[in-house]
Amino acid sequence: MKMKEVLRTWAERYFSDEEAVVLLLVLILGFAIVIWLGKMLAPFFTALIIAFLLQGIVGWLERRGIPRLLSVLTVFLIFMGTLLALALVVMPLVWNQLVELVQETPRMFARVQQLLDGLQARYPTLVTPDQIQAWIATAGREATQLGQRALTLSLASLGNLLGLIIYLVLVPILVFFLLKDRESLTRFLLSLLPQKRTLMTVVWHEMDHQIANYVRGKVIEIFIVGVAAYVTFWFFGLPYTALLGLTVGLSVLVPYIGAAIATIPVAAVAGFHFGISDEFLYVIIAYGVLQALDGNVLVPVLFSEAVNLHPVSIILAVLFFGGIWGFWGIFFAIPLATLMKALVRAWPRTVGQRGQPVRQVDLEN
What is the pLDDT at residue 140? 61
Instruction: Give residue 194's pLDDT band: very low, low, confident or very high (50, 70, 90).
Output: confident
> Which has the higher per-residue pLDDT, 147 or 237?
237
Give the residues across from 349 on adjacent strands: 358
Instruction: Please state which of the ranges 73-87, 241-255, 351-365 shows the lowest mean pLDDT.
Output: 351-365
Return the percentage of the chain with pLDDT > 70, whole number.
Answer: 74
Largest CA distance in the chain: 82
How do residues 262-283 score in pLDDT, each as one tens digit? 888 898 888 888 877 888 899 9
What is the pLDDT at residue 66? 92
Q: Which residues of 275-310 are buried (b: 16+ CB within 10 A; e: fewer)?
A: eeeeebeebeebbeebbeebeeebbeebbeebbebe
Please check whether residue 334 is in contact with residue 214, taking contact to mean a CB–CB distance below 8 angstroms: yes
How do residues 159-183 score in pLDDT, each as one tens digit? 456 667 777 888 899 999 999 998 8
Summarize the confidence of residues 50-64 as an average pLDDT: 88
What is the pLDDT at residue 362? 43
Please check whether residue 286 is in contact with residue 262, taking contact to mean a CB–CB distance below 8 angstroms: no
Q: Is the pLDDT of residue 74 over 90?
A: yes
Q: Which long-range contacts (CB under 8 A, 24 or more apart) does 24-27 make?
A: 26/193, 26/200, 27/343
What is the pLDDT at residue 55? 87
What is the pLDDT at residue 232? 94
What is the pLDDT at residue 178? 93
Instruction: Please state which of the ranges 123-137, 254-268, 285-299 shows the lowest mean pLDDT.
Output: 123-137
Q: How many residues does the chain have?
A: 365
The full set of domain ranges for the chain reads 196-347
What is the pLDDT at residue 150? 52
Q: Is the pLDDT of residue 231 over 90?
A: yes
What is the pLDDT at residue 180? 92
What is the pLDDT at residue 274? 83
pTM: 0.69
How do residues 6-56 score in pLDDT, each as one tens digit? 777 766 666 666 777 777 788 888 878 877 877 788 888 888 888 888 888
One-letter amino acid of 129: P
d(CA 152, CA 148): 6
How do residues 284-304 score in pLDDT, each as one tens digit? 999 999 998 988 888 777 776
Q: Within 10 A of 176 (CB to CB), how many other CB atoms are there?
A: 19
Angle between helices 2-15 and 18-37 (to 10 degrees): 90
d(CA 155, CA 73): 38
C-alpha neighbours within 13 Å on the C-beta side of residue 163: 10
Q: Within 10 A of 54 (CB to CB), how many other CB atoms are there?
A: 20
